[in-house]
Structure 1
Amino acid sequence: QTYFTVQSLEEATCSEIAEVTGRSHNLESRYLRRLKDIGVLQSKRVPVSNSEDEWKGTEVKYFLGESA
């Protein structure tokens, strides 16, 4: 379910994926790490800003790996 959610969203955070799957953020995070460990998913850290373009940190986006 996690893999297919990432596939349909193309790129998403753990929270976005958990919202779609209905699972907890904690459980989804474990699934995402496992899929990343086996090379099915890749991740990248992207900057986050609010509506006033103030920098608020970074978040991790997951997307399909090259082996997928």
Structure 2
Amino acid sequence: MKSLLLDMIKVFFIFIACTWLFYCGFRLMHAEYEQYHRYDTPEGPAMKVFTEELSFFDRIQLFFRLGE
């Protein structure tokens, strides 16, 4: 009985340690990507895909034609 309790305590502490490491890894990833701006103006040879503005009805027609 004592051996079973000792093994359960070991597994519990290993689980807590792994959970803590996993949490710290997520915190590090969050800190790394928190300042990353995805919607900045692109730099370099970027080009605009659409040069003309579509009306609401043209967009609806395109939506139904493509089956989205």
TM-score range, shorter chain: under 0.3
Q: TM-score with structure 1 length normalisation? A: 0.24
Q: TM-score with structure 2 length normalisation? A: 0.24
- Per residue, is there more strand in 1 or in 2? 1
Identify which of structures 1 and 2 has the higher relative contact order when contacts are C-alpha pairs closer than 8 Å and 6+ apart. 1
> Is the radius of gyration larger for structure 1 or structure 2?
2
- Per residue, is there more helix in 1 or in 2? 2
